[in-house]
Amino acid sequence: MLQIAAIREHKEEFAQALKKRNIDAYPMLEKALSMDEKRRSIQAKLDETLAESNRLSKQIGDLYKSGQAQEANALKEKTSGLKETSKDLSEQLTNAVNGLQDILYGIPNIPQDSVPAGKLDTDNEIVSEHDNIPTLVANAQPHWELAKKYDIIDFELGNKITGAGFPVYKRKGARLQRALINYFLDKNTAAGYEEIQVPHLVNEASGYGTGQLPDKEGQMYHVGEDDLYLIPTAEVPITNLYRGDLLEMKDLPIAMTGYTPCFRREAGSYGSDVRGLNRLHQFDKVEILRIEHPDQSDAALDAMVVHVKGILEELELPYRILRLCGGDLGFTSTLTYDFEVYSTAQEKWLEVSSVSNFRTFQANRLKLRFRNGDNGTELAHTLNGSALALPRILASILENYQMENYINVPKALIPYCGFDRID
């Protein structure tokens, strides 16, 4: 969430920057400033009313002490009116504060200068490409056919017990899935990320804290009776561990990693892009997150990109890195790098990770601050990335490592799964 003080100071600059998202943000920014002026005006009136009430209360006490009860009682009638006025102003102030917050919740983050202009994912900028695409056997198959052939993932069984988008992993498919989770966690902890296990449901405040609410409310599974949400990513519960906290400078940076299942409704998804593991309602993901000093967050983002790159290179998968354009940038992000692996049998690139810097956008929602020496308190910067999302990594492994009558396992995963091929 943008800070109203920053909007007041940089309104024109923000409006220009948000054009990269292909939106005219000027009316929203003006509306926020107008509501803030209303809030400040009401606050000033309330302060004046309370000050006058306190002054009269002191005067009444002095009058009673000096035996001037008649004069004191006359002033008490005036204070009764001031109390009613202050009560009304307090209600107006609450409404103005809530109204301002609702407006600010609807304004996306400001893209960094390096974010390219564009409307669609085809406008994303290719930063680097490592297309060591293997030459497959003549009868190469997509992963959903391989899953059926080797009986390692059952999409129909998942549809039977839950519905489409909830696959059942079996035999070596289940073991390879578990191997990937452990491998990702080990790579992350070796790089200095502390492993965290968190709940898979969150309350509404957590959803607002990281920006999934109200922006993606329709994409989240909601447990109505308990007013809880199934998490769309570990980013939500892990980042919210520090909601409302005041950190010390020595606490930074904070680096965390965690494995969770993720739940997404994916409303409106259809066609070939949702076949097999391409798009699921439930999937596994290992996340990395950082809380940084503002001066260090850009360097931290670069380091996270290098870390994810190293994992993909160790798995020997063809991949590329994209810098997302303004039209494809997530609501809360100021800069995002996407990693895509190449699906050889499908002949297309599949996104497997987004690594993002949110700067103060989430921290302002979370009220996450740190003591910055003599400069008082300051909002921290938050970052997160997938390291990695499993479905499309698994799909890419199955397709790129397939042979005539078996599928090889990447060397890095053999110690984790205990076998070197699927047959």
> For position 255, what pLDDT does the model report?
98
Task: Return the SS3 of 407.
Answer: strand
The fold of 4-105 is: Helix Hairpins (1.10.287)
Q: Angle CA(4)–CA(210)–CA(395) in degrees, nearest 5?
A: 140
Q: What is the CA radius of gyration of the chain?
A: 27
For residue 54, pLDDT beyond 90: no
Measured CA to CA, the distance from residue 278 to residue 377 in angstroms comes to: 44
Q: 124 in helix, strand or coil?
A: coil
Is residue 343 annotated as involved in ligand binding? no
Instruction: Report the alpha-carbon distance of residue 414 to residue 124 in Å, rounded.
Output: 35
**Token code pair at residue 276:** 């097999």
Residue 81 — pLDDT band, cuts 50, 70, 90?
Answer: confident
Could you give the angle at the alpha carbon of 284 between the alpha carbons of 278 and 288, nearest 5°? 110
Q: Name the pairing type of β-strands 381-389 and 348-359.
A: antiparallel
pLDDT score of 333: 98
Beta pairing class for 194-195 and 254-263: parallel
For residues 62 and 108, give the distance between their C-alpha atoms in angstroms, rounded to a whole number: 55
pTM as predicted:
0.92
Per-residue confidence at 59, pLDDT binned at 50, 70, 90?
confident
How far from 30 is each of 4, 41, 150, CA to CA, in Å? 11, 16, 59
Domain 121-422 has CATH 3.40.50.720: no
pLDDT at 69 over 90: no
Band the pLDDT of 381: cuts 50, 70, 90. Answer: very high
Do the annotations mark residue 352 as ligand-binding? yes
Q: Tokens 């967050």 map to which residue?
A: 297
Question: How many CB atoms sit inside 10 A of residue 30's CB?
Answer: 13
User: Per the annotation, does 122 bind a ligand?
Assistant: no
Nearest to 385 by CA among 228, 90, 187, 230: 187
Residue 273 has what pLDDT?
67
Q: C-alpha angle 376/289/276, rounded to 5°?
A: 155
Residue 332, marked binder: no
Residue identified by tokens 């839950």 is 162
Query: What's the mean pLDDT in 231-240?
Result: 98
Question: What is the structure's pLDDT at 47?
Answer: 96
Banded model confidence at residue 216, pLDDT cuts 50, 70, 90: confident
Q: Rounded to whole angstroms, how far apart are CA atoms 187 and 310? A: 9
Annotated binding residue at 71? no
384 is in an annotated binding site: yes
Nearest in space to 183 (alpha carbons), one of 280, 262, 286, 260: 286
Q: What is the mean pLDDT of residues 197-209?
A: 98
Q: Is 344 annotated as a binding residue?
A: no
- As given in the structure block, the two tokens for residue 298 are 């850009």
Tell me how far apart the alpha carbons of residues 318 and 419 are, in angstroms, rounded to a whole number.
Answer: 22
**Looking at the chain, how many residues does it have?**
423
Does the pLDDT value for residue 271 go beyond 60?
A: no
Give domain limits for the chain.
4-105, 121-422
Contact 131, 320 (CB under 8 A): yes
First vs last C-alpha separation in the chain: 51
Residue 233 assigned ligand-binding role = yes
Sign of the Cα pseudo-torsion (243, 384, 237, 265, in order): positive
Give the pLDDT band (50/70/90) at residue 349.
very high
Task: Supply the pLDDT for residue 379.
Answer: 98
Place of tokens 């009673």: 64
- Beta partners for residue 351, in sequence order: 340
Rounded Cα distance, 212 and 235, in Å: 10
pLDDT in tens, 95-138: 999 999 999 999 999 999 999 999 999 999 999 999 788 888 88
Beta strands in 115-233 (DSSP E): 125-130, 153-154, 168-169, 194-195, 201-203, 222-223, 228-230
349: which strand partners? 342
Q: What's the one-letter identity of residue 305?
A: V
The whole-angstrom separation of Cα 124 and Cα 115 is 9
What backbone torsions phi and psi does residue 289 show, to the nearest 5 degrees? -140, 150
